[in-house]
Amino acid sequence: MYRLGIDLGGTNIVAGVTDENFNIIGKGKIKTNAPRPAEQIADDMAKAVFEAVKNAGLEISDIASMGIGTPGAVDPKAGVVTYANNLGFENVPLCSMMKERTGVDFYIENDANAAAYGEYIAGAGKGTKNFVAITLGTGVGGGVVIDGKLYSGANYAGGELGHTVINFDGEMCSCGRRGCFEAYASATALIRQTKAKMEECKDSLMWEIAGKIENVNGLTAFDAWRKGDRAATEVVKQYIEYISVGTTNMVNIFQPEKFCIGGGISGEKENLTKPITEFVKREDYARNMNKRVEICVAELGNDAGIIGAAFLDRLYK
């Protein structure tokens, strides 16, 4: 049996055909060019679908089901994107629109949930029953799996882990609250923190690595930290503490078997997981218990959302 998953992003639409062993055997990609009418985006999603199927050496009739991971708030039972600000979607019946264009049944989830589910079934969470994943990107996305099922609450808006507060009355978050986990632990926040430290320390190696402040990215501070730069070390240490505080909150709430960190910064691997694990061991409410959460990094990269979306039929069929 073959399935297809779509990762609908603000920049790109990526479709991938998967086999039963979670291998992606063909992909299709097209620019999202959002915001624009949902009908136009659905047309291009269908183009990406047919391209992926062709590249897999299959026919559309070979695909048993398809799924979509999309930004925003989603009603998976109705197949509707209730609101996605970066796409300009409001109450868009995307599943029925895609079935009209492909003839195949569609399932839908929030993109962070889809990525978490992908890691759960095929990546870092494989073999667990309770699993929590965050992605450190433009924001902090999150997904929660409890007893093998995605948790999204009574109104499908649960699991917004990035919008829990770690610093009361702190930095303003894009959601309108102050002090959110996202406002301190996202890659966007790290870039802001790096730039601020560079302006404060004109002799930092971060200037040499970035060339100019406009070129700063999520790895600038880590690259300078590896070379022993004092200012970069301060940035990295503080940033990891922000992640650790938010992680400890999630651990105290869910006590999963594994807590997974994804996004480009997760490429730092033990440079992240080791100090975060040490912090959680000190702060975790269950610190006196023998069974403790394992802090790990994501394994599937950008394919997590495609794989998770492709297998949504297991949850909602």
Could you report the per-residue pLDDT of 94-153, keeping only the tens digit for each? 999 999 999 999 999 999 999 999 999 999 999 999 999 999 998 999 999 999 999 999
Based on the fold, state whether residues 167 and 269 are members of the same structural domain.
yes
pLDDT tens, position by position, 52-70 = 999 999 999 999 999 999 9
User: What's the domain count of the chain?
Assistant: 2
Based on the fold, state whether residues 143 and 279 are members of the same structural domain.
yes
Based on the fold, state whether residues 156 and 178 are members of the same structural domain.
yes
Q: Which residues of 212-222 are buried (b: 16+ CB within 10 A; e: fewer)?
A: eeeebbbbbbb
Based on the fold, state whether residues 83 and 114 are members of the same structural domain.
yes
Based on the fold, state whether residues 102 and 161 are members of the same structural domain.
no
CA pseudo-torsion sign 98, 99, 104, 105? positive
Integer Cα distance of 308 and 150 in angstroms? 11
Based on the fold, state whether residues 180 and 101 are members of the same structural domain.
no
As given in the structure block, the two tokens for residue 284 are 């975790």
Instruction: Note whether 10 and 34 are within 8 A (CB).
Output: yes
CATH of the domain at 255: 3.30.420.40
The yes-or-no verdict on residue 288 having pLDDT over 80 is no
Integer Cα distance of 276 and 209 in angstroms? 26
Instruction: Note whether 247 and 273 are within 8 A (CB).
Output: no
Based on the fold, state whether residues 179 and 285 are members of the same structural domain.
yes
Instruction: Note whether 287 and 281 are within 8 A (CB).
Output: yes
The yes-or-no verdict on residue 290 having pLDDT over 90 is no
Mean pLDDT of all residues in the chain?
A: 96
Based on the fold, state whether residues 152 and 274 are members of the same structural domain.
yes
Q: Kindly give the interhelix angle for 230-254 and 270-283, rounded to the nearest 10 degrees.
A: 50
Structural domain boundaries enclosing 203: 125-298
Average pLDDT over residues 246-272: 96
* Pairing status of strand 80-84 against strand 73-75: antiparallel
Based on the fold, state whether residues 100 and 188 are members of the same structural domain.
no
pLDDT tens, position by position, 167-226 = 999 999 988 999 999 999 999 999 999 999 999 999 999 999 999 999 999 999 999 999
Based on the fold, state whether residues 253 and 153 are members of the same structural domain.
yes
Instruction: Note whether 312 and 4 are within 8 A (CB).
Output: no
Based on the fold, state whether residues 85 and 134 are members of the same structural domain.
no
Based on the fold, state whether residues 45 and 160 are members of the same structural domain.
no
Model confidence, pTM = 0.94
